[in-house]
Amino acid sequence: MNKLEMTEAIMTAKSSMSVTWEEAGSAIGASPVWLASACLGMNSAPAKTAAAIAEYFSLGEEVVAALEAYPTKIWDQAVPTDPLIYRLYEVVGVYGETLKEVIQEKFGDGIMSAIDFSMDVAKEECPKGDRVVLTLNGKFLPYKSW
Amino acid sequence: MNKLEMTEAIMTAKSSMSVTWEEAGSAIGASPVWLASACLGMNSAPAKTAAAIAEYFSLGEEVVAALEAYPTKIWDQAVPTDPLIYRLYEVVGVYGETLKEVIQEKFGDGIMSAIDFSMDVAKEECPKGDRVVLTLNGKFLPYKSW
Amino acid sequence: MNKLEMTEAIMTAKSSMSVTWEEAGSAIGASPVWLASACLGMNSAPAKTAAAIAEYFSLGEEVVAALEAYPTKIWDQAVPTDPLIYRLYEVVGVYGETLKEVIQEKFGDGIMSAIDFSMDVAKEECPKGDRVVLTLNGKFLPYKSW
Amino acid sequence: MNKLEMTEAIMTAKSSMSVTWEEAGSAIGASPVWLASACLGMNSAPAKTAAAIAEYFSLGEEVVAALEAYPTKIWDQAVPTDPLIYRLYEVVGVYGETLKEVIQEKFGDGIMSAIDFSMDVAKEECPKGDRVVLTLNGKFLPYKSW
Amino acid sequence: MNKLEMTEAIMTAKSSMSVTWEEAGSAIGASPVWLASACLGMNSAPAKTAAAIAEYFSLGEEVVAALEAYPTKIWDQAVPTDPLIYRLYEVVGVYGETLKEVIQEKFGDGIMSAIDFSMDVAKEECPKGDRVVLTLNGKFLPYKSW
Amino acid sequence: MNKLEMTEAIMTAKSSMSVTWEEAGSAIGASPVWLASACLGMNSAPAKTAAAIAEYFSLGEEVVAALEAYPTKIWDQAVPTDPLIYRLYEVVGVYGETLKEVIQEKFGDGIMSAIDFSMDVAKEECPKGDRVVLTLNGKFLPYKSW
Amino acid sequence: MNKLEMTEAIMTAKSSMSVTWEEAGSAIGASPVWLASACLGMNSAPAKTAAAIAEYFSLGEEVVAALEAYPTKIWDQAVPTDPLIYRLYEVVGVYGETLKEVIQEKFGDGIMSAIDFSMDVAKEECPKGDRVVLTLNGKFLPYKSW
Amino acid sequence: MNKLEMTEAIMTAKSSMSVTWEEAGSAIGASPVWLASACLGMNSAPAKTAAAIAEYFSLGEEVVAALEAYPTKIWDQAVPTDPLIYRLYEVVGVYGETLKEVIQEKFGDGIMSAIDFSMDVAKEECPKGDRVVLTLNGKFLPYKSW
Amino acid sequence: MNKLEMTEAIMTAKSSMSVTWEEAGSAIGASPVWLASACLGMNSAPAKTAAAIAEYFSLGEEVVAALEAYPTKIWDQAVPTDPLIYRLYEVVGVYGETLKEVIQEKFGDGIMSAIDFSMDVAKEECPKGDRVVLTLNGKFLPYKSW
Amino acid sequence: MNKLEMTEAIMTAKSSMSVTWEEAGSAIGASPVWLASACLGMNSAPAKTAAAIAEYFSLGEEVVAALEAYPTKIWDQAVPTDPLIYRLYEVVGVYGETLKEVIQEKFGDGIMSAIDFSMDVAKEECPKGDRVVLTLNGKFLPYKSW
């Protein structure tokens, strides 16, 4: 079973169980964003978590193996077209240099890791319209001379 | 004075004053990320704030006018090469579909605005290496039928 | 049933019923442009409307579910080749900066939303050849400082 | 004087006169959108209008000649990055096929001309936030067999 | 039956009848270039002509419907690789500005329509090697101010 | 003097003499399209013709040399944006395969040369709007086996 | 039978016969390079040669017809990645302007035809390592004025 | 003196001396193709040859140093537009796989080097039109396992 | 059996045998990196090694033949997206010119071969986190004049 | 002084001193590869090293400041054309998936850092031609679930 088939199996189970990523994550012991990324095939799950995910969705050994497999992370659109994803891309384009300025002033020459990294989505209720709050948390990696 | 010249003037002043975006922002009454983006020419400043920025950096009327001008937001690299900015792009590529899943499950069909939007950079100290914490806060905009 | 199969089912039904988007929209209580976009899979329909669409075309529950699903909006051609669609792209290329000038002068620094948005197609009869009248109506979203 | 220099001369004059495209257009006898496009160098002006524009802005013969010159319409970004212009591009991507469906059902096989064409920007006041109303009006051109 | 299947059906019939586009066009009452483009799926045929084409090739109602359908005109290669087609692309690249000069000097600011348009291929016999003569005939569309 | 400077010198002279390519071509003994392409730097002129062009426009030896120089034919836009040139590109996209069908049926496997080639622009007056008639004439070059 | 199936049939036959392109070419009366290009579907074969190829490989009428068909020459990679083919592309990139200099100095303004063209591969034995010798032979086509 | 200035100096000298690459090469003791590539800045010259070139063209020490410098070989157009260079690109596209077939059958798995490489241009006189003969000679480099 | 099917067969066998590339390489007498590249279809194996590989994985003659076949080396992503592969691409982008400087200073004008080439992966244990050590070893190929 | 001017100043000094990166690095106390990358503007130097570099090359305070500045790492060619750099790109294309296989088997799911990273160039003398030995050393960064 490859990652695509795995995703389809999990999405079907999730839909028939009518659970959210938040509910599933809290039952399994994983954050909703990471859980969704693993189920969509963009992260591998540790053995124990893979077993817990498969059990939660009442799926078999093949799904466990597919969840544990190390993914090759490929995306087709250099510039994404879906409006939700494009807006994130736009943030990188508009604020990329700004973030470089502010982060490197605060931390020195280096980068925020996208590997030693976590992310969270929260809802901020607001009378003028609710707000999405994304939090990205990545280790600072300094450049070194040698 | 165009935005490029404005940026150069401000960066020179900022460097000779040896102040950080945080210090400048706190004196001017603006967040460091927004302030940096306005000084780099990627956002326009309201008249009052433009005046405060110019005053803080001891710069003249031309800088005020250039800060108030509405920018045309252009970036040259569809896929950015600088490692700090690329990692943000990579996050969009790896987690784009995941965020679509989680946000739309939580909020319904719609997007996070990149216009009615703010952003913050914080440092999380950690014995294994400090961490960069980016917070993106955008209004949820629901699609409507008509 | 995915969106592609849904579109095929609706188009077949529509063709065998020999109805136009205008007739269908007026029966269902939706504008023709929005209805066509939902049936082509580029917008999700609210539950009630999805049910009305399926009923109008005598299609089943699977179609209702597919209409309600939140679409991932993808287009393959960065520069469209079909002449009807290319002309619209050309309008954006030729008049993009002009519209930025005129809109921002009138409304301040900000954008016209493509999410809180509606669109209409009308025919203007004219002896020298009929004219297509497209009306785009989007909420103005002002940039804010923070 | 080339179109770039012409645009700069007009923009400087317009700014020092503190007039809007609407005021200028109404004085000159041209719509604000067309006037802006001609002043930005994306359309040529008929001799009489060119003279009226130059006179209104107190500019000389060179500006008249530059306004009359036939422009080569070039844009650099196949996919525009400025958010205001990108949203228009997004509308073409999301609704391109929909508009093809609706227009060709109403008019037959053919296109909306981008040459025999006009465009208008209006403000619709609304308590939840003002709305931008763009109206595109182009001659329908039917395909012919031969 | 979609356009691809229609093309295949017609090409098979044409090949087994051993007729040329010229012979077919003269029997059906259409020019060879237009007929080929309609049979290759790049133009729609009026009802009467569609019927005549299907009859000529002894094909059924499905082919008539497919010929009448309005095509979405898509080509995959922004720069074509087949040498015959590339040479035409090269002519546009080498002589594009030249044609703009000569046409606009003769007709004023505007374009040659590719919609209200016809095209013809002729053979010019020549002792040093026969010559291909392509004639493009398109309505001149003037730009207008508004 | 390079080709760019040559073009500028000739265009200035042509404009101050208020002559058309047709008039210039008829005086010099060259077709208007070829003459324009040589003056725009996309073809080299034989020594005699180069001298005649320079004389006609009262320009010096440097222009003669620049006209005789063999050009490197470069265009920047793989897909042209100017509407007049784009329509020609669209014709290649829409009718490329059709022309391949019709030409190769008539001439055998091979191509129309873009080197041993000439082109002409004519005006066809028409009550519904004048028409542009482009004639392309290129030697047929058959593929050979070896 | 299309060209892809034809190629597969010939390659299978060639492999089971354990013959080289050189042996096949010499038996059929064609050069190895041309023969390979026709069998790979990038050239059409004259009727007689097509029959000889099919006979040599003990294949039927369908292969003869597919060999005679005029190919549409398409390649997917604008910049080829296979190292053997990339090196040829690199030669064009590194030496393209050089060859233009040397050829046009020797022959006048014009090009080397890629249609009236042949090519040969030879092995030059050398103690330091054998050498590949490619010979390209194309008719010179002069540009003409008209 | 950089390579661009060096090229300009040599081309000016060569033009005023009215010599060909063949004459220059024979005087200097270098092949015309290599000599042109070194003078165009696409190859470095050994010290002795660099001195001979500068002497032949009566140029100074700066030219010697610039000829000896190791070039960074950059070309701007992934797909060249000049017809002479495009035809070579087309040969790579049409015959790339064919050459891979024939070369690897003759030499084993490996490539023709573009570094340990030479090239020659000859004229083959022919009553139907002279022919350009390009000879590429590169060391065969076999892949190895390890 | 093509290379894709071969890879699948080997990967399945390898997985069910629970062996690493290191163990397999040491049993077969090949380095792990080269072995993996041959099994992934990016290198051909000499007859003897191909037989040893097939035997080790208990696979048949078809796999031997597929391993011996000369691959066409194609990759789809000009800029790879998988983070592990992208980091290597980034190294080429950031350090490409630096390596050119240092290698050519040490070896003269020329390149490091990617054909007469080997590569190795080692683990360097380190208390702060293990390190990956890649060693690339390629023959230096000097440019020559001719 | 920006990084470009800094590079020029250092290269001029280095050339007039006739020293190699190896000699300079050993005097300054830095590896030759890192030193070259800092001098080419692709890495920032710690204050002490920046001072040592400037002193070694007898350059002033401006060079020290420019060496300490954090660079924006930009490269123009997604696919590099210089043969030395392209071969490295080719290695990433041909061996990217192979390295992913071997590294992740050895280290688990994760990547080799290009930030916590060093690199070395050595010469391996060999009778058949010297060999370039590149060693890349990067920290392994494991993906984590959260």
pLDDT in tens, A22-74: 999 999 999 999 999 999 999 999 999 999 999 999 999 999 999 999 999 99
> Are A131 and B137 in contact, with CB atoms under 8 Å apart?
yes
State how far the Cα of A27 lies from the Cα of A44, in Å rounded to an integer: 19
State how far the Cα of D43 lies from the Cα of B136, in Å rounded to an integer: 41
DSSP H or E segment with residue J64: helix J61-68
pLDDT at site J7: 98
State how far the Cα of B97 lies from the Cα of B116, in Å rounded to an integer: 22
pLDDT at site A7: 98
State how far the Cα of C113 lies from the Cα of A87, in Å rounded to an integer: 12
| Chosen from D72, D111, D117, D141 to mutate, greatest number of chain F CBs within 10 A | D72
pLDDT at site I14: 98
Give the 3-state secondary structure of E3-69: HHHHHHHHHHHHHHHCCCHHHHHHHHCCCHHHHHHHHCCCCCCCHHHHHHHHHHCCCCHHHHHHHHC
Are the beta carbons of I73 and J94 separated by less than 8 Å?
Answer: yes
State how far the Cα of E62 lies from the Cα of D140, in Å rounded to an integer: 29
Chains in touch with I (3+ beta-carbon pairs under 8 Å) read A, B, G, H, J
Nearest Cα of chain C lies from the Cα of F100 at a distance, in angstroms, of: 19
Domains of chain H: 3-68 (1.10.260.40), 83-142 (3.30.1160.10)
pLDDT at site F135: 98
Task: Decide if F113 is catalytic.
Answer: yes
pLDDT at site A8: 97
> Are H5 and H39 in contact, with CB atoms under 8 Å apart?
no
| E-G interface (Cβ pairs under 8 Å ≥ 3) | yes
pLDDT at site C43: 98
pTM for the whole structure? 0.96
Residue A83 forms contact with C (CB below 8 Å): yes
Which ipTM was obtained for this model?
A: 0.96
Beta carbons within 8 Å of A102's beta carbon, 6+ residues apart: B21, B32, B33, B36, B121
Share of chain G above pLDDT 90, in %: 100
- Structure tokens that stand for A43 in this block: 């992260």
pLDDT at site H90: 98
- Mean local confidence (pLDDT), E69-85: 98
- DSSP assignment of I59-84 equals --HHHHHHHHSPP----S-SS--SHH
Are the beta carbons of C113 and B141 separated by less than 8 Å?
Answer: yes
- Structure tokens that stand for A81 in this block: 């077209």
Beta carbons within 8 Å of H122's beta carbon, 6+ residues apart: H132, H133, H135
pLDDT tier at A16, thresholds 50, 70, 90 = very high
Residues of J in contact with B79 (CB under 8 A): 78
- Mean local confidence (pLDDT), C24-46: 98
Find the angle CA(J33)-CA(J39)-CA(J40) to the nearest 5 degrees. 90
pLDDT at site F68: 98
State how far the Cα of H140 lies from the Cα of H37, in Å rounded to an integer: 22
> Are A102 and B121 in contact, with CB atoms under 8 Å apart?
yes
pLDDT tier at C123, thresholds 50, 70, 90 = very high
Residue B56 forms contact with A (CB below 8 Å): no
Average pLDDT, chain I: 97
Instruction: Report the residue of chain I nearest A1, measured CA to CA.
Output: I12
- Mean local confidence (pLDDT), E116-140: 97
pLDDT tier at B68, thresholds 50, 70, 90 = very high
Q: If we measure between CA atoms, which residue out of H136, G32, C88 comes closest to residue F146?
A: G32
- Mean local confidence (pLDDT), I92-121: 98
> Are G120 and G146 in contact, with CB atoms under 8 Å apart?
no
Number of neighbouring beta carbons within 10 Å of residue F118: 15
Residue D127 forms contact with B (CB below 8 Å): no
pLDDT at site E15: 95
- Mean local confidence (pLDDT), C78-86: 98
State how far the Cα of A112 lies from the Cα of A93, in Å rounded to an integer: 17
State how far the Cα of C130 lies from the Cα of D141, in Å rounded to an integer: 9
Buried b (16+ CB within 10 A) or exposed e, E1-11: bebeebbebbe
* Cα A70 off chain centre by: 15
State how far the Cα of C141 lies from the Cα of C109, in Å rounded to an integer: 9
Instruction: Report the residue of chain H nearest F69, measured CA to CA.
Output: H15
State how far the Cα of A14 lies from the Cα of A7, in Å rounded to an integer: 10
Find the angle CA(F94)-CA(F99)-CA(F102) to the nearest 5 degrees. 140
Q: If we measure between CA atoms, which residue out of G107, B43, D70 comes closest to residue E106?
A: D70
pLDDT at site I45: 98
- Structure tokens that stand for F134 in this block: 């482009």
Share of chain F above pLDDT 90, in %: 100
Average pLDDT, chain E: 97
State how far the Cα of B120 lies from the Cα of A102, in Å rounded to an integer: 10
Share of chain C above pLDDT 70, in %: 100
> Are A121 and A134 in contact, with CB atoms under 8 Å apart?
yes
Query: pLDDT tens across F2-27, in order?
Result: 999 999 999 999 999 999 999 999 99
The residue assigned the tokens 């374009």 is: E111
Find the angle CA(H29)-CA(H34)-CA(H37) to the nearest 5 degrees. 130
State how far the Cα of D114 lies from the Cα of E114, in Å rounded to an integer: 12
pLDDT along chain H (146 residues), means of 10: 97 97 98 98 98 98 98 97 98 98 98 98 96 98 96
- Structure tokens that stand for C94 in this block: 């030729």
> Are C112 and C118 in contact, with CB atoms under 8 Å apart?
no
State how far the Cα of E35 lies from the Cα of E118, in Å rounded to an integer: 11
State how far the Cα of D75 lies from the Cα of D58, in Å rounded to an integer: 29
| Chosen from E1, E42, E72 to mutate, greatest number of chain C CBs within 10 A | E72
pLDDT at site D116: 97
| A-F interface (Cβ pairs under 8 Å ≥ 3) | no
pLDDT tier at G140, thresholds 50, 70, 90 = very high
Residues of G tagged active-site:
87, 90, 113
The residue assigned the tokens 């053979």 is: E123
How far CA H27 is from CA of H7, H15, H66, H120, in Å, comes to: 19, 16, 20, 17
pLDDT at site D15: 95
Instruction: Report the residue of chain F nearest D1, measured CA to CA.
Output: F12
> Are J136 and I134 in contact, with CB atoms under 8 Å apart?
yes
pLDDT tier at G95, thresholds 50, 70, 90 = very high
Nearest Cα of chain B lies from the Cα of C83 at a distance, in angstroms, of: 26
pLDDT tier at F45, thresholds 50, 70, 90 = very high
Task: Write down the catalytic residue from D8, D55, D61, D90.
Answer: D90
Buried b (16+ CB within 10 A) or exposed e, B104-128: bebbebbbbbbbbbebbbeeeeeee
In three-state secondary structure terms, D65 is: helix
Beta bridge partners of J111: J141
pLDDT at site H37: 98
State how far the Cα of A64 lies from the Cα of B31, in Å rounded to an integer: 46
Are the beta carbons of A90 and D83 separated by less than 8 Å?
Answer: yes
Task: Using DSSP bridges, classify how beta strands F131-142 and G110-124 pair: parallel, antiparallel or unpaired.
Answer: unpaired
Query: pLDDT tens across A69-90, in order?
Result: 999 999 999 999 999 999 999 9
State how far the Cα of I123 lies from the Cα of I132, in Å rounded to an integer: 5
pLDDT at site E11: 97
pLDDT at site J51: 98
pLDDT at site J12: 97
Instruction: Report the residue of chain D nearest F78, measured CA to CA.
Output: D78
